[in-house]
Every structure is written in C-alpha cells, then in structure tokens.
Structure 1
Amino acid sequence: MKAFAALLFGRRARLRWIHLILGGALAMPYVLVGEVFVGPVTGSQHVFEQFPLQLLSFAVGLPLAAVTSLFPLTRPLEAGAVRWLCGVDAGLLVYGPARTRAAKGRTAAWFTLHLGFGGIIAGMSLAVPPFAAVLIALPAVAGLRDTRLGLPEVLDHTWALALAPVAGAGCLVALAGCAAASGALLAHWAPRLLGPAPEDRLAAAEARAADLAVRNRLARELHDSVGHALSAVILQAGAARRVLDTDPEFAREALAAIEDTTRRTVGELDAVLGVLRDGDAPGTGPAPTLAADLEGLLRRVRAGGLRVTAAVETDPAALPPVLSREAYRIVQEGLSNALKHAGDGVRVTLRITVAGGHLEIAVENPFTPNPVHRPGGGHGLRGIADRARLLGGTAEAGQREADGTWRVQVRLPMKGPA
C-alpha cells in the first residue's frame, strides 16, 4: 500500500504532474486560437460553454502547437523541463536546437504529446477535485443536497448518499493514477523524441574516439620520454654511487648524463603539456628523431651502465620525419625496457636497417627469468605495438628459443599511413 501511494503521490509523481499542468497551460493559447476557427464553422457563439466544442477546439489547436515547436528554443526548454521534472537522465537528452528534419519532426511530436496529455490532465485537475470534494462532503452538508449543484438524482437514495464519499475518494485516486500514468509515458518517450538521433550518437562516438586517440598519444609520449628518463636516471645514479670512490671519472660521466637526461626530458615534458593546454606547444623544441638524437640516447643509456652495441645500417637522415620520430621512440622504449628489466652491466644489441621497403628495428638483451615487478608498469611493449600499428607496421616481442635472449622486433613501412 505504501509503494502504491508513493507511485501515485510521491515526489516524482508530483513533479511529473506539475510537468503535465505546465503542458496544459502551454496548450491554452492554442485552444483559444482553435475556438476562433471552431466558432464560425459550427455557428456557435459560446464554444467555451459546450464540452464537445471545447474538445474540438483542443484538437484544432494541437497541430498549431506542432508547427510552433519548430522554434529553435523549443527542444532545449523541453529537454530541461523533462530532466528536472520527469527525472530523465541528462545524458539521454539533447539540449541544442533541432537542426535536421528528423530532429524537428521528433520535437514536434514531443511538443504535441506534452500539450495533449497536459491539456487533458490539467482539465481533469481543475474539474475532478471540486467534484470529489462535493461528493465527500455531501452526506455531512445538507445544504449541498438542497442546492443539487447538478448532481444526479440517484444521490437522493440513502445507499448512494452513503457511498458518495467513497466515490469522491475514488475520483481523486483515479485522477492521480491518470496523472502518474501520463507522466510515466512521457518520461518513457522523452529519450526517443528529445534524445540524440543515430547520426548524433555517431558524431558523439567519433568525437569520443578522437579524444581517446589524443589521450593515448599523449600517454605514449609521456611514458616513452619521462618513463625512459626516470629509468635511465635511476641506473645512472646507482652506478655513480657504487663507483664514486673507485672510479670518480665514470661517476662524473654518469652525473653529466643525469643532467643531460633531465634537461632533455623537461623540454619534452613542456612540449606535451603545451599540447594539453593549447593544442600545440609554442616555444618548445621539435620532437626527438632518430637522425638527430640517436647518438645522444645511446650515450645516456651507456652512462647508466648498459653496454649497448648499435649497428645502424641505414642513413637516419634519409628517413621521413614521422617515421624518424616514431622510430626514435621505439628505440628509446626498447632500451628503456632493457634498463628496467635486465639491469646495468648487461650487453644489449641494437640493429637498425632497411630491407624490402621496411625499416627494421631489433633490440636484444639477455632474458631475466624473474624481472622485478613494477606496479602500474607493462605499458612499454603496448606503446611500441601501438606506434607500429599506426604506421602500418608490425611489432613482436618475446624470448628466442635458440639462445634464450629477449628480442623486440619492429618492421615499419617506409611509406605508409601517418
């Protein structure tokens, strides 16, 4: 019983009732315009006093309401009212003006339904409560029985008079039920008529995909630049601490490499943050490339204790700019993985060559059976695969069965999608 009462008279039902009454108030001007047409056609000068003619005026006014719903602010205003009064999720509605023909048609259908249901419920809300109050008070107030008030003669019987309060309460419950049902129907139809069309959903999905692509690109840049720099700095600082007393010269080289690594990383971080702020990075240097920055990268990782043997069998300066930039990041991440998982003092082999119209990059290092687990790590190989896929290439990583070494192999087409 409590749930039934909440369904008819709860806060949500009351707000939807208000929404319907507002629809009835909006319908009144259209009904008055309908009376202007109905009066001359039917030859009646008192349309408002005849219920059938009132209904006819209401029916004539609804098409006029559908035409005026083409006003641009109709959908935003109706969507706002539906959100706050009908309890429809904001994400299911569109708050901008209807642009396409289909959207305008759905808005017109919604506005007609709102005013149609609202006019009926508003009329019932004006007529039923006074009638119900008379029925409830009829047995106790003799004056009401004497004035009659247009009540049916059946109420002269004793049994009908006794049941009059029950009938009055039933009228109020029926009114609340009609209002709750009408409000629920409008709330159900609102997302379909005021919500996004399939083309709107497609545009939103495309915008979301573009946003995720930008986020993923920035995440890769941050991971490859900052992650590599931190891994290199940790190993360089550890190597410098261990040989500070026995090999001061190597310690000085490691500290110089730490300074150079952090300076370059700050510049790359500024460039990425510039993209986040303004969509570009004014005043920052260009992104590192294989042609201009490979030697510096090798020098820094060697200063951290990694013994890198590099075989570059092509001219990096002859590579396309996009390919050179992405190849640098792939080499950087491959060496960073070796730094993190193999440790210092390990021999790493880097080979860069061009074969069959593809740039081939291979990074090999001894496989560590029990690498140190890093919480939140494991994104490096995924980033390499993403970069290779975006360029139309392939990336493979795993342990070689022949000698047990860990190998990262990447093939990038010399001409492909950027």
Structure 2
Amino acid sequence: MPPFFAPLFRAATYARWLHLLIGTVFVGVVLLVYPGIEPGRSLPETVALGAALDAALLCLAALLPATRRAEGVQARLLLVPDREESIGAAPSVGWADRGRTALWLVARVALGLGVGLATVRALDLGTRLLHAPPYGPLLLPVLVLALLWLVVLAGRLQLALAVRLLGPSVADRLVAAELRAERLLERNRLARELHDSIGHALTVTVLQAGAAREVADPAFREKALEAIETTGRQAMEDLERMLLLLRDTPEETAAEQPGLDRAAALFDAARAAGSPVEATVDPAAARLTGVLSREAYRIVQEGVTNALKHAPGAPIRIRAAIEDGRLELRCATALVAAPAGGRPARGGGRGLRGVRERATLLGGEAGAGREDGDWVLTVRLPLRLAE
C-alpha cells in the first residue's frame, strides 16, 4: 500500500477522530446551556461567551486531581500512543500538574472543535457535490481524502500534546531516572554479593573435594566433607538472603548479612582447604557494624577466595585494623608460578573489579599488585560510614 494511503487504513486514525469529536460535543452542550441561541445576539458574541465559559469550566475541572487520571486513561485508549507510559495515568500531584492539565483540556477542546466543525462542513459540502452532476461526484473523493488527512494530522498533533502535557514532567523524569539508577546499583550490589559468596563457596568446595580424592586418610576425608557441608550451608544462607532481597522483603534482612565479626569462619574454611591463614583482626575493627562491616567482610572474603583459587596451599596473611580514621584491610599471598603454557597466577578479574567498586562506593580506595614476592590486596575505607 502506498505510504500516502497507509494512515487512512489504521484503526488509530479513527480512534483519534472520536477523541477529537468529544471536544466538539462538549462545546455544543455548553453552548446549548449558556449562552444559548438568542435573537439579537451576534454570532461572534455568542462564540466569545461560549469560549470564555468553556475555558473557565475546563480550568475548574483541572483542579480536581482525578481529572488528570481520567484524561490520561482516555488518551491512552483513543490516541493509541506508541508507548503507553508516555502518557501518564496518575492524578495531579501539585499545581504544576494542574496547570498542565488545564492547558491540555483547553487545547484538546479547541482542536476538537476545529476538527468537528470541519467534519460537519465536509458532510454538508459532500451532500451538495452529490447533487451537482456531472463534476460534483468526481470531486467527492478529493473532499474525503482532504478530510481524512486533516483528521490524521490533527490526531498526531493531539497525541503530541497529550505526551507533552499529560506525560511525566521534567521533575518526574528525573525522579524516574534516579529510581532506575538506584535499582541498577542495587542489582550490581546483589550481583557482587552473589559472586563473592557463591564464588568463595565453590572454590573451597572444589579444593576440599580434590584433596579428599587424593588423600587416602579417612579422617582427612571426614574433615574435608565436614568443611564442604559447612561452606555449602553458609552459601545457601547467603543465597536465601539475596533471594529475599530480590522479592522486596523488609529491609531488616539486610542486618542479617555477615560482618567482620564472622570473618573467623572464612579463615577456618581456608585452613580446612589446606592454606595456612595468619589473621589479625583488631577488636575495634571486629566491633564495627552496618554497611562498613558488611562490605569489609565481602572484601576479605574475595581476598581469601582469590588466594585459594590462584595459589592453593600458599600461606595467606590477613590484617584488618583501624588507623588514622580509616579501616585498613590487607590480604597477602605468596605468588605461585604459572605452569608452562598456562594462565598467569593473577589477573584483574571480576572479583578484584568488584572490590574496587565496593571501595569506591564507600569513598575509599583499593589496590592490588606484586609486593616482595607476594600478591597483596590493600583496601582503605573511611570510618564515617560505620553505623
């Protein structure tokens, strides 16, 4: 179908036509009530009085919060926007919304009145053309096309006005953008939590299972299986916490997340996996609570997980202390040479990137690199976030 005729065969065109004609009906009803048709009153005077009364009534109606909701719902149904959410369907919240609603009502009725008068005029002219042979009937298709294209253009203008005046304001769009950003940050935080918790559990489990298969000592196997069970149970608890957060449960579940006071369990799991751990956690650091303690726990967990993954069996030295108004975390592991043709023992993967993101969000800093034959992860976090 040629593009010129395509809009004439769309249902949206005729739905918008109906929406426009509703404005004509409103004006006609008001004119019948007041000022009415009186002998001696000129047509311009009648039109001026009717227009003033229409505008006053529409502005009064816009003061009702429900008017904006009703207009939004009707516009969504009859103007058929490409995206429904581009036209709001919520009641007015403030005077800015009421003012935009009033502008919409006046513009809608004015545009609808113009299209309604053009429709009535076209019907009258079409009737005359039918009774004016031989050329009148030949001009009728041209008149119909002109009227339909007028409806198409007026409908598009009406839709643009609805999106502009009934859609979200600049402040609303800013609030929506901030909400999307908050949700994205929350999703990223949950992704980091899952990566750190499940990654640590899988690393410990793989190492313990591999060691149990290689060692014939039943006592060692029993201890390895116990470590696997404990680590798996902790991972399941962390996973359940994340799922509860995703299900929009109350915020109290956040308090259940582990903090530095539970770091000893991490060190025990690493020792059970065959890596000696020398840990020094200052009592003041262990007593920290809130977001700082939780994030510090995850950072230490990532450091231990990296050590187990890239240098299994190598000694791990952990230190958590408060110095100069900051919480300092340090995880050092002896470098292990990569096998020939293998990957390097260390790399800036997702775990280290997650540590840097955590530190940045908390206003701190993180660094990782070689230092005196060790691979050292150092993180400094300001104490002002302690809760």
The TM-score with structure 1 as length reference comes to 0.80
Query: 2:328 is paired with a residue of what secondary structure?
Result: strand
Shift of 1:135: 0.6
Shift of 1:256: 1.0
Q: Deviations over 1:349-378 (max 9, x none)?
A: 3233333232222223326654499xxx94
Distance 1:172 1:385 in 2: 67
1:289 aligns with 2:262: no
> How do 1:123-138 and structure 2 match up within 5 A?
123-138=117-132
Shift of 1:240: 0.9
Q: For residue 347 of structure 1, what is the aligned residue in structure 2? A: 315
Aligned pair in 2 of structure 1 residues 248, 344: CA closer, same or farther (>3 Å)? Answer: farther
1:396 aligns with 2:362: no
Aligned pair in 2 of structure 1 residues 320, 90: CA closer, same or farther (>3 Å)? Answer: same
Shift of 1:284: 10
Q: Is 1:237–1:304's contact at 8 Å kept on the other side of the alignment?
A: no
Q: Deviations over 1:175-230 (max 9, x none)?
A: 22222221111112221111111221222223223333333333332222222112
Distance 1:45 1:185 in 2: 37
Distance 1:172 1:54 in 2: 30
How many equivalent residue pairs? 378
> How do 1:30-179 and structure 2 match up within 5 A?
30-36=30-36, 44-45=38-39, 52=44, 55-56=47-48, 58-63=50-55, 64-88=57-81, 89-139=83-133, 162-179=134-151
Shift of 1:82: 2.3
Q: For residue 203 of structure 2, what is the aligned residue in structure 1? A: 231
Q: For residue 321 of structure 1, what is the aligned residue in structure 2? A: 289
Q: Is 1:274–1:281's contact at 8 Å kept on the other side of the alignment?
A: no
Mind listing any 5+ residue stretches in structure 2 that lack a counterpart?
A: none
Q: For residue 29 of structure 1, what is the aligned residue in structure 2? A: 29
Distance 1:315 1:98 in 2: 55
Among the aligned pairs, what percent are the same residue?
Answer: 37
1:364 aligns with 2:332: yes
Aligned pair in 2 of structure 1 residues 352, 310: CA closer, same or farther (>3 Å)? Answer: farther
Amino acid corresponding to residue 410 of structure 1 in structure 2: V
Q: For residue 412 of structure 1, what is the aligned residue in structure 2? A: 381
Q: Is 1:93–1:195's contact at 8 Å kept on the other side of the alignment?
A: yes
Distance 2:286 2:268 in 1: 22
Q: For residue 277 of structure 2, what is the aligned residue in structure 1? A: 309
Aligned pair in 2 of structure 1 residues 378, 15: CA closer, same or farther (>3 Å)? Answer: farther
Shift of 1:115: 1.2
Query: 1:2 is paired with a residue of what secondary structure?
Result: coil
Shift of 1:394: 0.9
Q: For residue 251 of structure 1, what is the aligned residue in structure 2? A: 221
Q: Is 1:18–1:85's contact at 8 Å kept on the other side of the alignment?
A: yes
Distance 2:255 2:54 in 1: 64
Aligned pair in 2 of structure 1 residues 164, 278: CA closer, same or farther (>3 Å)? Answer: closer
Q: Deviations over 1:139-164 (max 9, x none)?
A: 2xxxxxxxxxxxxxxxxxxxxxx432
Distance 1:176 1:417 in 2: 67
Shift of 1:53: 5.8
Aligned pair in 2 of structure 1 residues 58, 107: CA closer, same or farther (>3 Å)? Answer: same
Amino acid corresponding to residue 69 of structure 1 in structure 2: A
Shift of 1:316: 5.2
Amino acid corresponding to residue 67 of structure 2 in structure 1: T
Amino acid corresponding to residue 273 of structure 1 in structure 2: L
Query: 2:146 is paired with a residue of what secondary structure?
Result: helix
Distance 1:357 1:251 in 2: 45
Query: 1:23 is paired with a residue of what secondary structure?
Result: helix
Q: Is 1:313–1:353's contact at 8 Å kept on the other side of the alignment?
A: yes
Query: 2:376 is paired with a residue of what secondary structure?
Result: strand
Shift of 1:343: 4.7
Aligned pair in 2 of structure 1 residues 109, 313: CA closer, same or farther (>3 Å)? Answer: closer
Q: For residue 147 of structure 1, what is the aligned residue in structure 2? A: none
